[in-house]
Structures are given as C-alpha cells and as structure tokens.
C-alpha cells in the first residue's frame, strides 16, 4: 500500500479536455439499450477475489482555492483520498457500503466489487489496506456489459443488496466476512418499476430503511430517469412496492441515496454540461416528510462543483459517528475508466440536529 500527500488539483484538472471527455462518456453511455433476462440464468458460484495494490494520495484541501475551508453547506469536511491502481478492473465505482466502521465494499458499473479497510489518523482518512477485488457473484465477465451494470449497494443484516441498470433487478447476496459470498436471489419488483427504468437510465441506487422508521424492513430504490420534473422512487422489500417522488433540482439526476441514523433520506445528485460544468449536491428528505406518493419538501445539505474538488460523485454511504448523534458521510466517484478522471473518496460530518 502506498500513501503520499498531494493537492487535489496538482494536475490542472479543470482543463476543457476533461469536460469534453466526461460529456462524451455520458453521452455514449446513455445510448446503451437494456434487455430483460431471467434471473435464474445467472451463474451463482462465487468467484475468487485477488489482492491488489491501491495507491492512496491524501487530499489536503477540498478544491484549489479552499484556503483551509472546512464547512460546505451543512457538512464539515474531514478529509479524502485520490485512489488509483494498475488493476484493470479497478474504477467505475457507483455504489458504496461500509460493512463495519472500517471495512467497506464498493461496486463497479462493470460488475466487480472492491473490498478494503479505510485507515484513519484521528478522523482523517490516510490510506487503504487489505484491498481486494473480484467479479460480483453471478455477474461474470462472460455476461455482456449491459447486464453487469451494478449501480447501488446496501447492507442489511448479513446480506448485501445490489441494484442494476440495463437489466433492471435487485440481487441479494450473502456476506462472508467482508466479502460478497454468494448470489442468493432477488427482490421482487413491480411491472411499474421495470417499465420506468430502461437501458442506462435505470435503478441508480438502493438504501436500507433503518429500524424505527415507518417503512422499516424495506429498501428505497431510486431511478436515474426523472419524469415530469420529478425524481422517481419506490419502497420495496416489505410488502407490495410503493411509489414516491420528489421534485427534481434543475437538471441534476439521482446518483445514490442512504439514510441517516435519525431516519432522514439523503440523496446524492449530479449533472454535467458544457455550459454549467459539473454540479454535485446532496439533499435531505426528513423522516417526517417521507411518504408514499408525492414528497414536497427537501433540504439542501451540500452543493459543489469542479472548483470545489468534485469529480463524478456517484456513491454514498452514511454511518453513525460518535455518540452525539453525528453522521459520517462518505462519497466515492466513478471515473468511467477514463484517465482524465479520478477515483475520489471524500468524508464529511453531518452534525447532529443540523
């Protein structure tokens, strides 16, 4: 494991070529067409994982012109890492979940899963250890890429749940230690969910609804494809699926979601355009406002752009932090396997009662 110290923008990442490359990647991906195949056709044997070396460069400050800034909206900046590896399957991370306070899993939109331990110095992340990668069980490289497009990851008990674009589905895996061990089945989804999620604008995220919540025992899944200015979501896994929606924020699209320990739903969103550049934000639906049907009110927690050190942030995880009710928010970026982009891991604190 290597670790070195660097500023985030030491390589002049604001070049127009970066913007153009991201736009081409997004435009190309949106042209992919999805299909449907029976879940039973997928192989279920768990593939072997391989240990890999990952270089972790410490991010000293969030953005070139931050001047030591630590508060971003409602969040407090803790630290981050720029990650890289010579392993060809490393990258494209679109879903993230911590198995325990230190070990996490990150899934790639090409059907692989990274297992790693985050090493901290105090509250500041400094490197990764115990890094390994493998294909998702039942999602081998023999499958076409549109069937391997895993996007969302959630942990519940001793199992992991992964949402897919392309071939719309949510698969259920058993966990063995810090690894996805075996494909066990899938969550039932309604025809409405299948029809609303097509090709590369499908199920972008899945989040476990916590105990004590009115919908505890289930999951929230979100579509990347808005409809009539609304982000579409469903409550699944606890009876018949229930639909809900919330107002879309400009042209931003849902990327991931998770719940705080208070039961608030936090949604990660991002968009890129030549004129507007890259925009990343997080909004919150408070527990008392969450319901089936239309949701009217959201709070803005965080909004940033390329100048603030953002990349294509697609993965979100939230953990309890300390005993005072704070929440630890971790973001991870999808580099689209593009050398002009980076794999970032960023951490923030959402203080209690904020």
Across 263-288, average pLDDT: 94
pLDDT in tens, 83-122: 999 999 999 999 999 999 999 999 998 889 999 999 999 9
**What does the alpha-carbon distance between residue 318 and residue 307 come to, in Å, rounded to a whole number?**
24
pLDDT in tens, 177-198: 888 888 999 999 999 999 888 7
Stated as kind and residue range, the H or E segment containing 21 is helix 16-29
Would you say residue 155 has pLDDT above 60? Answer: yes
pLDDT at 47: 67
| More confidently predicted of 6 and 145 | 145
Confidence band for 14, pLDDT divided at 50, 70 and 90? very low
Stated as kind and residue range, the H or E segment containing 139 is none
Summary count for the chain: helices (H), strands (E): 2, 25
pLDDT at 23: 42
CA 271 and chain centroid, separation: 14
Indicate the average pLDDT of the chain.
Answer: 86
CA 102 and chain centroid, separation: 17
* Parallel, antiparallel or unpaired: strands 253-259 and 242-247: unpaired
**Residue ranges of the alpha helices (H) in 103-231?**
191-196
User: Structure tokens of 214?
Assistant: 């009115």
Confidence band for 275, pLDDT divided at 50, 70 and 90? confident
DSSP 8-state secondary structure symbol assigned to residue 263: S
Q: Cβ neighbours of residue 13 under 8 Å, at least 6 residues apart?
A: 306, 340, 342
Neighbouring CB atoms inside 10 A of 213's CB total: 17
Question: For domain 2-350, which architecture applies?
Answer: 6 Propeller (2.120)
**What does the alpha-carbon distance between residue 96 and residue 347 come to, in Å, rounded to a whole number?**
13
């Amino acid at each position: 494991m290597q670790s070195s110290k660097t500023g985030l923008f030491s390589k002049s990442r604001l070049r127009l070529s970066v913007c153009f490359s991201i736009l081409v990647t997004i435009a190309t991906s949106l042209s992919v067409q999805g299909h449907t195949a029976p879940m039973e056709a997928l192989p279920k044997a768990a593939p072997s994982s391989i240990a890999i070396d990952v270089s972790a460069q410490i991010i000293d400050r969030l953005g070139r012109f931050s001047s030591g800034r630590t508060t971003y909206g409602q969040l407090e900046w803790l630290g981050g890492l720029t990650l890289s590896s010579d392993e060809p399957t490393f990258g494209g991370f679109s879903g993230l979940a911590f198995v325990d306070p230190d070990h996490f899993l990150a899934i790639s939109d090409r059907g692989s899963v990274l297992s790693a331990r985050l090493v901290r110095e105090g509250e500041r992340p400094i490197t990764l250890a115990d890094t390994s990668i493998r294909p998702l069980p039942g999602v081998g490289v023999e499958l076409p890429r549109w069937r391997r497009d895993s996007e969302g990851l959630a942990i519940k008990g001793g199992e992991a749940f992964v949402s897919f674009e392309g071939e719309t589905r949510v698969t259920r895996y058993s966990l063995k230690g810090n690894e996805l061990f075996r494909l066990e089945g899938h969550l039932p989804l309604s025809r409405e969910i299948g029809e609303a999620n097509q090709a590369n604008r499908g199920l972008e995220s899945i989040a476990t609804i916590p105990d004590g919540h009115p919908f505890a025992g289930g999951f929230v899944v979100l579509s990347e494809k808005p409809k009539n200015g609304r982000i579409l979501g469903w409550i699944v896994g606890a009876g018949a699926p229930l639909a809900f929606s919330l107002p879309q924020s400009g042209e931003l699209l849902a990327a991931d979601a998770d719940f705080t320990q208070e039961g608030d739903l936090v949604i990660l969103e991002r968009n890129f355009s030549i004129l507007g550049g890259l925009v990343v934000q997080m909004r919150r639906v408070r527990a008392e406002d969450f319901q089936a049907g239309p949701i009217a009110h959201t709070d803005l927690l965080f909004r940033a752009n390329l100048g603030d050190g953002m990349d294509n942030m697609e993965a979100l995880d939230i953990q309890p932090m300390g005993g005072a009710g704070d929440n630890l928010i971790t973001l991870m970026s999808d580099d689209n396997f593009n050398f002009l982009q980076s794999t970032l891991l960023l951490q923030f604190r959402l203080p209690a009662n904020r």
